[in-house]
């Protein structure tokens, strides 16, 4: 068991699965003793199109303690459908219910996506919880404490700040530039930031970040390690690193890749 919490990239392709990666999904793991003995706790952050395959490759899909959904676009949530089937019909029996935190109507969205009646939908497998109802002190899942802020996207979307064992992971989700991101990323050990756009292009407003904007955010927030993710398959990834480096000179920059393991 790792002595430090880890972030594993399951999928990092922006907007749809690419030839080398599923869409957005990440697993956080950390050892923790909740009074019943130490074990590895796992939270899945987003479960986009195709990501369930890599959840099975690099983690224990039946050992997940919670799923945290940033927003309800398919590239961030749609593999909950397959995960529902796995947990409901697994040969070892129906698995225990786990919490799924997400925006308003996550339960209805997922039921419709799998063509289920909304009652009961997937509510016998997942305990759907609304980020809007999260306690002020944050959502606790074993060793993890999660704070969210609504960010700037065409649908209701949340960025996350996840604290575990003295370390902080900030996750932008999908968003245009907004002040909430600096609050979420303040002094983070790792900033997982979407870099869907490029500087110099005519980019739609209120939708995504450029790599340079990710670098600026990391500088303003005092981040140690910037991990660029959610780059669409139509762009080369390496130039995004160079662009981010032009605005973030004080720390480490990495490109998210499937299977990548980051120690917090």
What does 70-96 look like in DSSP terms, one character per residue?
Answer: S--SHHHHTTHHHHHHHHHH-TT-PPP
Residue 30: φ, ψ to 5°? -155, 145
pLDDT digits (tens, 9 = 90+) for 22-72: 999 999 999 999 999 999 999 999 999 999 999 999 999 999 999 999 999
Q: What distance in Å separates the CA atoms of residue 21 and residue 24, rounded to the nearest whole number?
A: 9
Is 0.85 topped by the overall pTM?
yes
pLDDT digits (tens, 9 = 90+) for 108-144: 999 999 999 999 999 999 999 999 999 999 999 999 9
């Amino acid at each position: 068991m790792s002595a430090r919490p880890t972030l594993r990239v399951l999928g990092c392709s922006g907007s749809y699965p690419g030839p080398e990666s599923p869409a957005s999904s990440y697993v956080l793991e950390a050892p923790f003793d909740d009074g019943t003995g130490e074990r590895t706790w796992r939270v899945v952050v987003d479960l986009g199109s195709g990501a369930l395959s890599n959840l099975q490759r690099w983690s224990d899909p039946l050992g997940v303690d919670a799923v945290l959904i940033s927003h309800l676009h398919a590239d961030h949530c749609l593999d909950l459908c397959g995960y529902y089937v796995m947990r409901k019909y697994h040969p070892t029996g129906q698995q225990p219910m786990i919490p799924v935190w997400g925006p308003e109507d996550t339960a209805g969205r997922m039921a419709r996506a799998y063509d289920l009646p909304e009652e009961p939908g997937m509510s016998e497998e997942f305990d759907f919880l609304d980020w809007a109802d999260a306690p002020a002190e944050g959502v606790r899942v074993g060793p993890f404490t999660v704070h969210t802020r609504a960010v700037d996207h065409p649908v209701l979307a949340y960025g996350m700040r996840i604290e575990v064992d003295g370390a902080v992971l900030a996750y932008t989700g999908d968003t245009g530039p907004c002040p909430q991101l600096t609050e979420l990323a303040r002094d983070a050990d790792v900033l997982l930031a979407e870099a869907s756009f490029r500087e110099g292009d005519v980019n739609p407003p209120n939708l995504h970040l450029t790599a340079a904007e990710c670098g600026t955010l990391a500088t303003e927030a005092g981040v140690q390690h910037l991990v660029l993710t959610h780059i669409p398959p139509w762009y080369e990834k390496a130039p995004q690193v160079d662009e981010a480096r032009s605005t973030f000179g004080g720390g480490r920059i990495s490109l998210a890749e499937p299977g990548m393991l980051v120690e917090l």
